[in-house]
A = this chain, B = another copy of it.
Amino acid sequence: MELIIYLAGEIHSNWRQTIKEQANSLPFHLNFVGPMENHERSDNIGEEILGNQPNTIFKDDAASAMNNLRTQVLMQKSDVVIALFGEKYKQWNTAMDASTAITLNKPLILVRPEKLHHALKELSRKANVTVETTEQALQVISYIFEEE
């Protein structure tokens, strides 16, 4: 039994690379998917495909259409969603993707520093599990496979 894990969260740090490396030492294989991590390309993908847009609002609108399609395809194929909040940025996409996962009945693991607990308390209460580090998130995934 293989699991597909969607990694929702900011694309400014390299936390996805970190969790993939941490997962290498597990005795089973995980397939990680997620958004485009090249931030500049994520912002420009609309104009890259559709050409110049009239202003930045419409440039954003075009890019987000591509990003949403990518997320919809990959999240529908995933078995578990891990959503990570860092201390910087608004990260509304992370909240949006986490909430979509819950409503679609996809199990959700929330990763956030303890100091963000108050701002994330309603989302945390809806998540299956809330942890503080990606190592802990992988421990939760491991527990699905362990027999004793």
Contact = CB atoms under 8 A, between A and B. Distances in A.
Interface of A: 1, 3-4, 31, 33, 36-38, 41, 45, 48-50, 54-58, 60-61, 63-74, 76-77, 79-80, 85, 90-93, 95-100, 102-105, 107, 109, 114, 117-126, 128-132, 136, 139-140, 143-144, 146-148
A73 B123 contact: no
Contact of A140 (B69, B74, B103, B126): B69
Number of copies: 8
A130 B49 CA distance: 10
Given A54-B55, A93-B122, A95-B96, A129 B65 contact: yes
B37 A68 contact: no
